[in-house]
């Protein structure tokens, strides 16, 4: 009987080991896309003393970053600030000593997320008297906070809308209500999430992020061969993007089919000319063995289907 129990336990441990190993391998195969949140336009009838689009963008950027599925770049205004600072440093008016201004190092976004806020109710209509401090309002009764948005996923290289989703967040609080005071949203994402309004925004954002993740398998993941030497191909993706040792990729020439009248991209496909296998990977690049065909600088790298 004891031996039988031992065999059962060994079998269970083996199955658990295989399960977790398979799960880890599956997660390792998940490739990461660089993504940027563009400004969401407030198309609702609500006009308050704080910027609804800024609050939405901050929560969405934070949620995308915490998902672990993306390389989240700064929002458009953040990247513009970085460009302005580079230009200022290069103007000769800044004290730089021997430090040189480095340009051309900003990570490009493969995907853009933008959209419109079509309806918003902060849930204050049913609120009673209360007190406010630090931008947060506490009332003795609560209403229903609701936000409706339309989210678009855009291919940054073509400008094509890849998918869209209507997202709704709705939170009803009875008794003590928590809302946004006229001081407004000040960039404190953690504090904002605790308010009724923040919970509604977070609910809609979570719906949008889950939808975006579900669409990744339909979006081609690509890289470029930056150089080839001594039988090794160097590609511009690394651990940051989910590349791992032992992975195999197709390599070839990317053919883009355009409408001759408008120049619009109609389709993209790769003419496979070779295959590479990752032998060493760093944060932002991978070194690969050429295992088939002829691989040259500038060719496109794609995941094996």
DSSP state of 216: G
Q: Per-domain residue ranges for the chain?
A: 33-89+106-217, 221-303
| pLDDT band at 113; cut points 50, 70, 90 | very high
Span 158-185, average pLDDT: 69
pLDDT at 139 over 50: no
Q: Where would I find the beta strands (DSSP E) of the chain?
A: 33-42, 70-72, 111-121, 130-133, 136-139, 144-155, 161-172, 177-180, 222-229, 232-235, 248-258, 265-281, 286-293, 300-303
The predicted model scores a pTM of: 0.66
Helices (H), the chain: 2-29, 52-67, 76-90, 189-193, 196-214
- Separation CA 115–CA 149 (nearest Å): 7
What percentage of the chain reaches a pLDDT higher than 70? Answer: 65
Most confident of 78-87, 218-227, 287-296: 287-296
- Separation CA 112–CA 37 (nearest Å): 6
Domain 221-303 has CATH 3.90.1170.50: no
Most confident of 17-21, 134-138, 260-264, 301-305: 301-305
Dig out the tokens for 191 from the structure: 């504090």
- Separation CA 140–CA 133 (nearest Å): 15
Span 272-284, average pLDDT: 94
- Residue 153 main-chain phi, psi, to 5 deg: -105, 125
pLDDT at 285: 92
Span 153-168, average pLDDT: 88
pLDDT at 142 over 60: no
Pick the CATH number of 33-89+106-217 from 3.40.309.10, 3.60.15.10, 3.30.930.10, 3.40.50.10610: 3.40.50.10610
pLDDT at 280: 96
If you average pLDDT over every residue of the chain, what do you get?
A: 74
């Amino acid at each position: 009987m004891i031996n039988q129990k031992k065999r059962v336990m060994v079998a269970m441990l083996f199955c658990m080991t295989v399960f977790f190993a398979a799960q880890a391998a599956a997660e390792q195969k998940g490739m990461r896309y660089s993504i940027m949140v563009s400004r969401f336009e407030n198309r609702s009838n609500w006009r308050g003393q704080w910027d609804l689009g800024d609050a939405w963008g901050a929560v969405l950027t934070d949620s995308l970053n915490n998902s672990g599925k993306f390389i989240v770049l700064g929002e458009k205004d953040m990247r513009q600030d970085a460009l302005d600072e580079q230009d200022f440093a290069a103007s000769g008016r800044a004290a730089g000593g021997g430090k040189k201004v480095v340009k051309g190092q900003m990570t490009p976004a493969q995907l853009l997320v933008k959209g419109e806020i079509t309806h918003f109710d902060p849930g204050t209509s049913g609120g009673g008297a209360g007190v406010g401090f630090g931008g947060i309002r506490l009332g003795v009764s609560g209403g229903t906070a609701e936000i409706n948005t339309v989210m678009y996923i855009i291919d940054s290289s073509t400008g094509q809308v890849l998918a869209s989703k209507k997202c709704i967040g709705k939170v009803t609080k009875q008794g003590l209500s928590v809302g946004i005071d006229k001081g407004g949203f000040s960039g404190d994402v953690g504090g904002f999430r605790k308010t009724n309004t923040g919970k509604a925004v977070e609910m809609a954002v979570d719906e949008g992020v889950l939808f975006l993740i579900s669409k990744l398998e339909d979006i081609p993941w690509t890289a470029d061969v930056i150089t080839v030497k001594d039988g090794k191909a160097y590609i511009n993706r690394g651990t940051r993007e989910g590349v791992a040792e032992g992975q195999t990729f197709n390599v070839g020439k990317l053919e883009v089919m355009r409408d001759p009248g408008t120049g619009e991209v109609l389709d993209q496909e790769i003419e496979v000319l070779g295959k590479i296998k990752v032998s060493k990977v760093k944060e932002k690049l991978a070194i690969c063995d050429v295992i088939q065909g002829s691989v040259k600088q500038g060719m496109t790298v794609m995941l094996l289907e």
